[in-house]
Amino acid sequence: MLTTNPLDDDKLHEECGIFGVYGSDGAAALVALGLHALQHRGQEAAGITSYDGHDFHTHRATGHVAGNFDRDDVIGSLRGQIACGHVRYATTGDTALRNVQPLYAELASGGFAIAHNGNLSNAMRLRRDLVRRGSIFQSTSDTETIIHLVATSSYRTFVDKFIDALKQVEGAYSLIVMTPEGMIACRDPLGIRPLVMGKLGESIIFASETVALDVVGAEFIRSVEPGELVIVKGLEDITSHRPFAPVAPRPCIFEYVYFSRPDSISEERSVYSVRKEIGAQLAIEAPVDADLVIPVPDSGVPAAIGYAQQSGIPFELGIIRSHYVGRTFIQPGDKVRHLGVKLKHNANRALIKGKRVVLIDDSIVRGTTSLKIVQMMREAGAAEVHMRIASPPTRHSCFYGVDTPERAKLLAAKLDVPGMSEFIHADSLAFVSIDGLYKALGEPRRADIRPSHCDACFTGDYPTTLTDQDEAVSIDQFAMLAERVG
Amino acid sequence: MLTTNPLDDDKLHEECGIFGVYGSDGAAALVALGLHALQHRGQEAAGITSYDGHDFHTHRATGHVAGNFDRDDVIGSLRGQIACGHVRYATTGDTALRNVQPLYAELASGGFAIAHNGNLSNAMRLRRDLVRRGSIFQSTSDTETIIHLVATSSYRTFVDKFIDALKQVEGAYSLIVMTPEGMIACRDPLGIRPLVMGKLGESIIFASETVALDVVGAEFIRSVEPGELVIVKGLEDITSHRPFAPVAPRPCIFEYVYFSRPDSISEERSVYSVRKEIGAQLAIEAPVDADLVIPVPDSGVPAAIGYAQQSGIPFELGIIRSHYVGRTFIQPGDKVRHLGVKLKHNANRALIKGKRVVLIDDSIVRGTTSLKIVQMMREAGAAEVHMRIASPPTRHSCFYGVDTPERAKLLAAKLDVPGMSEFIHADSLAFVSIDGLYKALGEPRRADIRPSHCDACFTGDYPTTLTDQDEAVSIDQFAMLAERVG
Amino acid sequence: MLTTNPLDDDKLHEECGIFGVYGSDGAAALVALGLHALQHRGQEAAGITSYDGHDFHTHRATGHVAGNFDRDDVIGSLRGQIACGHVRYATTGDTALRNVQPLYAELASGGFAIAHNGNLSNAMRLRRDLVRRGSIFQSTSDTETIIHLVATSSYRTFVDKFIDALKQVEGAYSLIVMTPEGMIACRDPLGIRPLVMGKLGESIIFASETVALDVVGAEFIRSVEPGELVIVKGLEDITSHRPFAPVAPRPCIFEYVYFSRPDSISEERSVYSVRKEIGAQLAIEAPVDADLVIPVPDSGVPAAIGYAQQSGIPFELGIIRSHYVGRTFIQPGDKVRHLGVKLKHNANRALIKGKRVVLIDDSIVRGTTSLKIVQMMREAGAAEVHMRIASPPTRHSCFYGVDTPERAKLLAAKLDVPGMSEFIHADSLAFVSIDGLYKALGEPRRADIRPSHCDACFTGDYPTTLTDQDEAVSIDQFAMLAERVG
Amino acid sequence: MLTTNPLDDDKLHEECGIFGVYGSDGAAALVALGLHALQHRGQEAAGITSYDGHDFHTHRATGHVAGNFDRDDVIGSLRGQIACGHVRYATTGDTALRNVQPLYAELASGGFAIAHNGNLSNAMRLRRDLVRRGSIFQSTSDTETIIHLVATSSYRTFVDKFIDALKQVEGAYSLIVMTPEGMIACRDPLGIRPLVMGKLGESIIFASETVALDVVGAEFIRSVEPGELVIVKGLEDITSHRPFAPVAPRPCIFEYVYFSRPDSISEERSVYSVRKEIGAQLAIEAPVDADLVIPVPDSGVPAAIGYAQQSGIPFELGIIRSHYVGRTFIQPGDKVRHLGVKLKHNANRALIKGKRVVLIDDSIVRGTTSLKIVQMMREAGAAEVHMRIASPPTRHSCFYGVDTPERAKLLAAKLDVPGMSEFIHADSLAFVSIDGLYKALGEPRRADIRPSHCDACFTGDYPTTLTDQDEAVSIDQFAMLAERVG
């Protein structure tokens, strides 16, 4: 686990972030900065592909963007004015470099690089058919399926082959594609994963979140729309295409809860404001008589400010983060579990002693970290510990590019709220309601028919069919196909 | 620069942290944890020495504790129940491993290891005398002077030799010493640098700050007193000695302002509470009509909470830290200066736009970072930007173990407050007064005669003579003595 | 250049060595030993693939076998009783890991690994056709062509697909192939590159040379015959197949001159004895009145012993090799050319001074090293320096898996023998005749029609068509297809 | 063990080589080349110190010269026209960097660097006295004793202090010393270890062997004489001093047997010629009826040529060295002993089968390698295996800077020649006689009184007192003083 914040270990994890630049000198350096700003979306590996008018250049590495893509020799070798990149959070052990994106292939029409945020829900079935016809897969990534569908498509132009391929896949995909002719950005018809478009001087930028535009100094233009292909062939030749039958969009609601950075703008809303508003809703729905509101750092801070402002209870730093430390301390041996949290966070004992505290966190997945934090408060002498969670209980797995533990490990899939409260040893526990969550987004409540967002992790209401899941292609069978390359 | 927080680059830096354990299995593993908790006191190098009853074992490394001292092979080789360690922030380029502490020497009486927090102000003069008599120095560290004074002392016992040596040095020193007979902890007569004592089960712990006791689960007993030697020869054989003529103590006041972690207890006071109180004093002394109180992360947070609570202006996160990132991103080429701050922190634009903001920071050294933050606020659309600083202007260098730039680079040594305000492009700028600072500590004002703390960096009132400084032994001449070892 | 012997830098280089084990515990460890013994056939990269009954496991690395494949973790991860490996000498700069063999692919019928010694002479034409039909190439290696021909073959069984593929390729190939069903070893119809078969206990071994059997303690059974497929499906299920139209074999004669180790047995002949015999032929054909016979180390030693024994002139070590040194010394800056040879070899001045010496080397390629050695003799005071070469002049490039410089750089393609003698500053120079070379093999002379070996590098008589060469697919165009992966 | 030749593992090992340059641009680069040529004298660590007129610069590293001292950044940092260096073979496990030479110290008179080949036999006694008076040792090296004797000497000038120090030490030392005033080279009164002097252009070179002069292109002038100090203060200011009472020299005879490279000139004799002559003596003293003379590579080759020429039996390469391989292959697990020799050397089976062979080696230490080689010959089918050794039996330890196993492990200290022959499974075994060895040097026999060389390893006749040895300061007690630094 590469996260440097142990309080984030027990979270759902967005699996990927993508970033593309069209038409700027030193495009790869901008991509490196953009990926660095998206590092929270995937910390296990990163890759960048550039195109210099003649050749494609690719560098991939396991680990963070910093340390791998801030080296002059690496960036210098990624020549060209067009580049795209990818950060990745691997769900299984298979962190082989060949699975790191962007993926690249030579077609008869020339080179083709692709970076994918999301997950296809019928990739296994498509793969079996392709292999039967002679396609040779080099990775275990679902993204490679798209490449082979393009390579073997009977359409003539690259764009037609690409649309032909997308029409065969189902699931979630935000894609940035590079060919010798230009760059294509697109989102699946439901727009499950985000993708935004910006401008830096004359050049065009695509990114998973607006913070990545901020870091390079680019201006946010608009989101790529669900079901839209934006094709950039020149700075004056940008076209929009909508090859799919129209459906009501269902973007992921968890981006507001945790995935996106608070300083991002998602669908014209400030993520920070939405989180504060969820905190305020929580204070209304689940008030408590207490002395201090304490955020679980860092993701609980905006909701805690909202809760404190709504309730009038003072906001205080009750948990101090060891803010200087650049590397995770790997405590040898058994003591890990015992000390894991303490190494990075320490209770502000003098503050907490004898006080009734409300802890604010964004979500509970397995519950193990919540338990440790409640204990940390008690050991510091808290009189009462109340936990308030700025999302509804997480009860279902995600199949659209989010790393969720199997259902059996989701605390909320096993226990009701009083049971969970007991599990984490809190004096009380409450979650914001699903309607409260939609209220924080400015809607009156969740629409029963066609809700405005994908909230399957809370409700089990999946917006697509789940072909591979239904065919019970277990992860074990899949793994059997995998050659392990060192 | 190894700090992972660019907003900390323009701060004064404590040069060292020390930690010792007497009488515990796996003493070195505890020391590694303690040093990790003290990492903010020195990030350039670390070292641990242990004693197993027969042999001393030492490991030193440049870089962080994590990554160097969390390896099983390293900790496994540091056998024994007694161990001490050191983290170091090097002031000059000389980060050669031989300068990394603990320093070790073989005397006729046996091995002798020493870890030092502070700086001697007559080390150069003593060194010249020792070399003339045949002593061979292996480092450029002032600490080695103490070793040679001990080795050549005409007293008979180790403790007498050690006291003989200390009586010849002037300046600041908190020391942890190991010999085959036990462990000695001591502070200089003025107690300029901190040192506390704790208990973990039966074993005795010494540490620069109480947070390091917290991380290993030890109980805080008391501070080692200024001018005190605590000698531990066994768990039942702990004695206190006061070999120096008594003087009024003058502990460093900047520990409250910035050096110590907010969750530490310093001289029975919560550092967090003192910082909040400084913020409150600042709100009283320098109020401003504004919409938001925004802390400069992370060190400005407690004072900002104090300011917000006192003033009634809401506390908000206006600067978002990229909290996942474990490594510093080294932006190649010229763009460093342009992007340095942005890579780690981003303005929360949606929040700030059109608002009048009060920024709270702990101190201003060169002013370069303050300038960048004010600009970041303006670029995000702030209507007004007011800067409030939770310490008086820093006008003088420190010679007691704190890395201060030469006076000519201290903004407050060159400009008055209006000039500084203009330099950082703020709409207004104010510092807490020196009396306000002492008020936050619970005193009515600064005592003109014998103030309770060393505040020389604010006032120029140095509590010791500065022999080497007066002899004008420039750093250049000193460097000439240095052999460079790769 | 990774050779540790600078006198070998100016040689033709065999590009590959292969080794396979069927049916032994710890098969990969045996393969590592075998590859280590074949290291002289390829020093830039190595790879091993194993099969454990369920999964294929692969590890590839640039650099030597030692240091990469003698690590417990690597060998431990290459589980199974079946394994094959490859060492590689890359001819172009493209040492990307994806070009390192064994190559691996998932077909509908299961996994498939292949290790190839040799070079196809129509790979480019076949590749263009395959890409046009939707195959995606991952490497720039000609070997991958075979994989795609197998994957897209319309035959039903793996063996039929494989034979179908081989019938479409032309050029030189000795192959070891692994599938879930077993191991296949085969040689092209002309048998240009070698491949032998051995037995270790019950298990079957295939190797490029018999020395690799020696190192693992295996018994040499026989060569795999030109045009033969040996299919091993079990220790009792070994079958031989001859799917190609029969032609007269033409194994590479340069294996005797330089490629094979002197302790190998090639086609029932001792390579050492053949080299001594070439030396004796050379003494008969080109005698010289001299005091000392001096071998150019190490490859000239056997021929020098033969020359000395035939001529009666004493054999002496006139060039001393710095035999302890494990790593190449990279002399910084311009001095490389000046000192390159001296760093590893030194003239035995006391021996040479005032003497007439005969230097014996195996071949001359560019002539640059010969020039340095002659100079080294003269600087040591030799009265006369006569050079005798144990092969005919090398005048033509090889397209069958040997790294030859372009013709324009072959000294013998530019100059006649007297010109070459002048170029290297020798008092005289002579090469063994082409008939003398065949005599050393026990034949009366070279057969004009269907000579028994491929000797195209000496004669220009290529035994296959050279499709890619004739289509003038320049290396530059080929390079354009290549994506560079870091 | 870093040797790349496993046949060298069972040899005595010279512990050090030294090299110095006075008065050349890029002096450190020349030292690196010289040390590379002396690598056979010490392969565990290397160091270089340079002086640029103001500062001393030092780089030390464990491992070979190549890979550490051929890097531009390293050589570039070692500025100045004066430099000296050292290669080291550590006898104990203590390869800590602080033991790597040149050692350096700051005296009141300025910097002082020293490189030492040899071993003092009263270092422990002197060390104890110095520590008692307040000297602090930083290494476990006997060489540091000299430094402290100089630092605490009551003489006034550096040269007088240095001579004062040398008069107190006993044992073997060839030294190169650098001070701001110049370079001093000297040998102990008996001249046990070698040291030669050369000239490169205007600059002066000192080296352990003449091969190191050859590699930099320097001219050999003469040996530094036993008991002589050569002081170089300028290119025109070179003086010779003889401060010791004169005694008859006793240089080490084993330099001829094995330590020196065959292309070195030792005391005006060619080492290669002496070795050939020893081989010829051996053929006269111990003839055998055989078919082939086979050298044990590489050190047995010159004696084997001598034996073959004298006896008329043909010289043949019966053991083939894997000459391309740059790194030692570390065979995992138990198989090391089984395969250790085979991995680097292979019997030339076709040559040996059915033949009576004479193996020629330079010495037998433990006998383990000899046993393996005899077995290798038998497995290859040799009819008879006769071993002939080009030195007398090695029966005594060396205390003058040669790594000898404790006596109990010397095969010749435990068994007589027939017993040794049986131990190594040879058909016969013979050693050259001690008189035969002196005959090869051109003397009629060994002089009983004052022999011309130190031959204590063969005869037990030690030319100095052995103070530390006599005081039974065991290696264990010594080790107790050692702090282990990682």
- C-alpha C115: how far from chain center: 14
Q: Which residue has the tokens 């006191």?
A: B41
Query: Between helices A143-152 and A158-168, what is the axis angle to 10°?
Result: 130
Cα separation, B356 vs B361, whole angstroms? 17
Q: Burial-class residue D287 by CB neighbours within 10 Å (0-12, 13-18, 19+).
A: middle
Report pLDDT digits (tens) over A357-405: 999 999 999 999 899 999 999 999 999 999 999 999 999 999 998 888 8
Give the nearest partner residue to B70 out of A4, A326, A332, using CB atoms.
A332
Residues in A 88-147 with any Cβ partner in C closer than 8 A: 104-108, 111, 131-132, 134-138, 147
Q: For the CA atoms of chain D, what is the radius of gyration?
A: 23
Cβ contact, residue pair C58, A136, below 8 Å: no
d(CA D238, CA B426): 70
Residue for token digits 């002086």? D51
Residue D77: pLDDT over 90: yes
C297-311 pLDDT tens trace: 888 999 999 999 999
Q: What contacts 24+ positions apart, CB below 8 Å, involve D179-182?
A: D179/D109, D179/D110, D179/D111, D179/D112, D179/D113, D180/D51, D180/D110, D180/D111, D181/D233, D182/D22, D182/D82, D182/D231, D182/D232, D182/D233, D182/D234, D182/D237
Residue extents of the structural domains in chain D: 6-250, 270-459
Q: What are the two backbone dihedrals, phi and then psi, of residue A347, each rounded to the nearest 5 degrees?
A: -70, 140
Say what the pLDDT of residue B403 is. 81
* CA–CA distance, D352 with D383 (Å, rounded to integer): 8
Provide the edge-to-edge strand list for the sheet that holds C203-207. Answer: A484-485, C56-62, C45-51, C82-88, C16-22, C203-207, C196-200, C219-223
> Do D39 and C314 lie within an 8 Å CB cutoff?
no
* Binding-site residues from annotation of A for Mg(2+): 299, 361-362
User: Which listed residue (B12, B16, B78, B389) is catalytic?
Assistant: B16
Alpha helices in A15-82, H assignment, sequence order: 27-37, 72-77
Going from the C-alpha of A478 to that of each of A103, A473, B244, C57, C180, the distances in angstroms are: 20, 7, 74, 16, 17
- pLDDT tens-place string over residues A106-134: 998 899 999 999 999 899 999 999 999 99
Tokens at residue B329, please?
């991103």
Mutate to test the interface with C, among D2, D65, D327, D351 (most CBs of C within 10 A): D327
Q: Specify whether the CB–CB gap between A23 and A204 falls below 8 A.
A: yes
Alpha carbon separation from D8 to A426, C219, D43, D382 (Å, rounded): 70, 28, 12, 23
Q: Where are the beta strands (DSSP E) in A77-120?
A: 82-88, 103-107, 110-120
Residue B470 annotated as lining a ligand binding site: no
**Six token digits for residue C343:** 């760093």
Does the structure show a pLDDT above 80 at C131? yes
Record the tokens describing residue B224, joined without a space. 């080692």
Report CB contact under 8 Å: A58, C484.
yes
User: Which residues from chain C sit within 8 angstroms of residue A152, using beta carbons?
Assistant: 134
Question: pTM here?
Answer: 0.80
Give me the total of CB pairs closer than 8 Å, taking one residue from chain A and one from chain B: 194
CB under 8 A, 24+ apart: contacts of D331-340: D331/C33, D331/C70, D332/C29, D332/C70, D332/C71, D332/C72, D332/C75, D333/C72, D335/C29, D339/C33, D339/C215, D340/D6, D340/D9, D340/D372
What is the torsional sign of CA A300, A305, A311, A315? positive
Which of C7, C16, C373, C424 is catalytic? The answer is: C16
Q: Which of A328-332, A395-399, D18-22, D79-83 has the lowest mean pLDDT?
A: A328-332
Chain D hits for B51, Cβ within 8 Å: none
Give C424-439 as a DSSP string. Answer: TT-SEEEE--HHHHHH
Complex prediction ipTM: 0.88
* CA-wise closest residue to A102 among B105, C357, C486: C486
CA distance A378 to chain B (A): 14
Higher pLDDT, D215 or B344: D215
D285 CA to chain C: closest CA distance, Å? 22
> Which among D293, D306, D452, D447 is positioned nearest to D390, based on CA atoms?
D306
Tokens of D237: 């200011």
Summarised one tens digit per residue, pLDDT across range A227-242 is: 999 999 998 999 999 9
**Res B475: pLDDT:** 42
* Pairwise CA distance, residues A203 & A21, whole Å: 7
The whole-angstrom separation of Cα C380 and Cα C361 is: 19
Contacts of A380 (CB under 8 A, 6+ apart): A318, A347, A348, A349, A352, A353
How far away is chain B from the Cα of D102, in angstroms, using its nearest Cα?
A: 11
User: Please, which chains are in contact with B (at least 3 CB pairs closer than 8 A)?
Assistant: A, D
Angle formed by the axes of helices A143-152 and A123-132, to 10°? Answer: 40
Q: Are C12 and C398 in contact (CB under 8 A)?
A: yes
Q: For the domain bounded by C6-250, which CATH number is listed?
A: 3.60.20.10
Residue C38's nearest CA partner among C205, C274, C222, C235 is C205
Question: Given this model, what pLDDT does residue B140 score?
Answer: 82
Is B454 annotated as contributing to ligand binding?
Answer: yes
Q: Is B186 annotated to bind ligand?
A: no
CB D295 within 8 A of CB D303: yes
Minimal CA–CA distance to C133: which of A162, A143, A103, A133?
A: A133
- Residues of chain B contacting residue A330, judged by C-beta atoms under 8 Å apart: 66, 70-71
Can chain D be said to touch chain A, i.e. do they have 3 or more Cβ pairs within 8 angstroms? Answer: no
Q: Residue A293: which of B281, B211, B359, B315 has the closest Cα?
A: B315
Cβ A159 vs Cβ A167: under 8 Å: no
Tens digits of per-residue pLDDT, D301-343?
Answer: 999 999 999 999 999 999 998 754 444 565 544 443 345 556 7
Instruction: Give the pairing of strands C182-187 and C229-234.
Output: antiparallel
**Which pLDDT belongs to residue B37?**
92
Residue C407's pLDDT is what?
84
| C-beta of residue B390 within 8 angstroms of C-beta of residue B331 | no
Characterize the bridge pairing of strands C103-107 and B16-22.
Answer: unpaired
Question: Would you tell me which residues 351-390 of chain A have a C-beta closer than 8 angstroms to some C-beta of chain B?
Answer: 351
| Residue D413 burial (CB count, 10 A) | 16
Whether chain C has a CB inside 8 Å of the CB on A484: the answer is yes
SS3 content of chain C, % helix, strand, coil (to 5): 30, 25, 45
Nearest to B131 among D57, D107, D148 (CB): D107
Q: Which residues of A touch B302 (CB under 8 A)?
A: 317
With beta carbons under 8 A apart, name residues in chain B contacting A72: 332-333
A118 closest CA partner among A82, A148, A153, A145? A145
Identity of the residue in B60, B131, B147 whose CB atom sits nearest the CB atom of D106:
B131
Gap between the Cα atoms of A358 and A386, Å rounded:
5
Beta bridge partners of D114: D103, D177
CATH number for the segment(s) B272-459? 3.40.50.2020
Query: SS3 of D274, please?
Result: helix
> Is the per-residue pLDDT at A477 higher than 50?
no
Q: How far is A133 from chain C (nearest CA, A)?
A: 7
Letter for the amino acid at B429? Answer: L
User: Which residue in C264, C346, C360 has the most chain D C-beta atoms within 10 A of its own C-beta, making it the best mutation to test that interface?
Assistant: C346
On whether the CB atoms of residues C136 and C147 are closer than 8 A, the answer is no
Judging contact as 3 or more Cβ pairs under 8 Å, the answer for C and B is no
Q: How far is CA D134 from CA B132, B184, B198, D152, D242, in A?
A: 13, 21, 35, 10, 31
Residue-level pLDDT at A7: 59
Distance, CA of D8 to CA of D14 (rounded, Å): 12
Chain C nearest-CA residue for A155: C134
Instruction: Provide the pLDDT for residue C442.
Output: 95
Minimum-distance CB partner of C215 among D214, D346, D349? D346
Is residue D477's pLDDT more than 70? no
Overall size of chain A counted in residues = 486
Chain A CB contacts of B211 under 8 Å are 320, 346
For CA atoms C155, C161, C166, C168, give the dihedral sign. positive
Coil, strand, or helix at residue C24?
A: coil
Closest Cα partner for B183 from B35, B59, B51? B51
Written as one letter, the residue type at D462 is: Y
| C331: region left, alpha or beta (phi > 0 left; psi from -120 to 50 alpha) | beta
C136 with A132: Cβ contact below 8 A: no
**pLDDT, averaged in runs of 10, over chain B (486 residues):** 51 87 95 93 92 94 88 92 91 62 91 94 92 90 94 94 96 97 97 97 96 93 97 95 95 95 93 97 97 93 97 96 57 46 82 97 93 94 98 94 85 96 97 97 93 95 87 45 40
- CATH architecture, range A270-457: 3-Layer(aba) Sandwich (3.40)
- What is the average pLDDT value for chain D, to the nearest integer? 89
Confidence of residue D4 (pLDDT cuts 50, 70, 90): very low
Of D132, D147, D483, Cβ closest to residue B104: D483
Which residues of A define the annotated binding site? 252, 299, 361-362, 398, 454, 457
pLDDT tier at C479, thresholds 50, 70, 90? very low
- The answer to whether the Cα torsion of D141, D143, D145, D148 is positive or negative is negative
Cβ contact D67:D35 at 8 Å: no
Cβ atoms of B208 and B173 closer than 8 Å: no
How far apart are the C-alpha atoms of D16 and D1, rounded to whole Å? 15
> Residues of A with CB below 8 A from B315's CB?
305, 315
- Please give the CATH architecture assigned to the domain spanning D270-459: 3-Layer(aba) Sandwich (3.40)
Residue C169: band (very low, low, confident or very high) from pLDDT cuts 50, 70, 90? very high
Question: How far are the Cα atoms of D200, D203, D221 from residue D36, in angstroms, in the given order?
Answer: 17, 19, 21
Indicate the pairing of strand B269-270 with strand B265-266: antiparallel
